[in-house]
Amino acid sequence: MHRRPTVPLIPMQPEDFHLRAENIYALNLAGIYKPREQLLFLADIPHLNDADTSFPSQRFVLVDHNKIKDRYLHNNVDGRVVAIVDHREDEGLYKDTADPRIVLPCGSCCSHIATSVLPSRDNPLGISVPRELATLLLCGVLIDTDGLRSGGKALQVDRDAAVILIPLSTYSEMITTTFSSEGGMRPDGNAVRDDKSIKDLTSTLSRKKLDLSHLGTRDLLKRDCKVYEYCVAWLPGSPIVRVGLSSVPMPLCEWAREGTVEEEIFSWMRARGIHIHGAITSFKEKPNKKGSNKGKEKEREKETGKSRREQIWMVVNPGVLESAEQAAYSSRGRQIDVVKLSSRFFESLEKDGALRLGEHELRLNKNGGLPVGVEVRVYHQRDSNPTRKYTAPLVKKILTEQVAVSLSNES
């Protein structure tokens, strides 16, 4: 890329790093045994939240996102985005400064790094990397694509990335699949996926990722939370609305205690200055033992359990968010017409033809525990295929379109 000294910044608090056990394991494989000491976190940058302090860098590379946060450009007139590697919805920014600018679909952002940045037969001038870093990227691909699972998130670029990374990684001597360095045939992604060493590594990473028994509601909400900011022009005053969207890989019944979950979500929103927060659960329904399913797909569901998703959303009047962070992010926040915001937001979500949201049986304590100006709703997502990558752009569409939202179930 730019072949300049670069320091990776982890945009989270170091005390939250324990929330992703699979990442800690992958870092250990890469020789990083003390991530809090060996990696750079936001908390390591002094006075970052001070109003007059500018970020101590002017050149930024965005990885796994393509819009920079305001905190990095505050009082930083020379700050600019010089490269982007991402797989999310393209915000269309920095086209005149970012080179390379890679914003394309894939299962894991690590795959774009492997196929476009690292050296390979197709990219001989790529940047050489230590074997441990290639191992770390390989773990990222396997975590994000569930081991390149057929029918899952993995695309061809992810399978190509695994083929590139394995010979460069510490796993090169463990893989039984043959890799040729003399121009011969390379294994395809399916051969890599089915290799015993890769399956064992995937199993270990998946087990650590899914073991959330030690985490409470607050930890689950912040473990995998993306925060977005949108100017909502159809509200009076065109306020800035801050949206949080968490992914939780377990059903609500295992972590959302009836009558109290909304209080814990509200507490989390106050701490982060969030106006709208959604949590999307994903899990496997317990296998059907009665043998009533028919067809190959139904037989597979009977053995492994059917994929399910739920959604729980809260909209909060900014007047009850007593947070310094909220004030810093949205000086116009208290102008929000929360009644109009809630009405249009929930109506649009419920009409979306892809999510197919339906009533959930979880009881909510709507008459107590929360101040006036807070609305919460819980849904079953009848179609389990749309992930956060679908819901996040939908939320942006609802909040930023001036005219009536064109929903996916309308002609």
3-state secondary structure 246-299: EEECCCHHHCCCCCCHHHHHHHHHHHHCCCEEEEEEEEECCCCCCCCCCHHHHH
Tell me which amino acid residue 314 is: M
Q: Which two tokens stand for residue 232?
A: 């909502």
Residues 6+ apart with CB under 8 A from 28: none
Report CA-CA distances (Å) from 85 to 51, 60, 269: 30, 12, 29
Domains, the chain, with CATH or none: 9-44+104-210 (no CATH), 217-400 (3.10.310.20)
Q: Going by C-beta distance under 8 Å and a sequence separation of 6 or more, which residues neighbour residue 343?
A: none
Per-residue pLDDT of the chain (411 residues; tens, 9 = 90+): 567 788 999 988 888 888 999 999 999 999 999 999 999 998 898 877 777 788 999 999 999 999 998 889 988 999 999 999 999 889 999 999 999 999 999 999 999 999 988 755 555 556 678 899 999 999 999 999 999 998 888 999 999 999 889 988 988 877 766 654 444 445 666 788 888 889 999 999 999 998 898 888 999 999 999 988 899 999 998 888 999 999 999 999 988 876 678 888 998 998 888 999 999 999 988 765 554 455 544 554 444 578 899 999 999 977 666 554 444 444 344 568 889 999 999 999 999 999 999 999 988 766 566 777 788 999 999 999 999 989 999 999 999 997 544 343 332
Closest CA to 274 of 309, 302, 316: 316
> What is the rounded distance in angstroms from the CA atom of residue 63 to the CA atom of residue 137?
13
Overall residue count recorded for the chain in this entry: 411
* Residue closest to 177 by CA, chosen among 168, 169, 188: 188
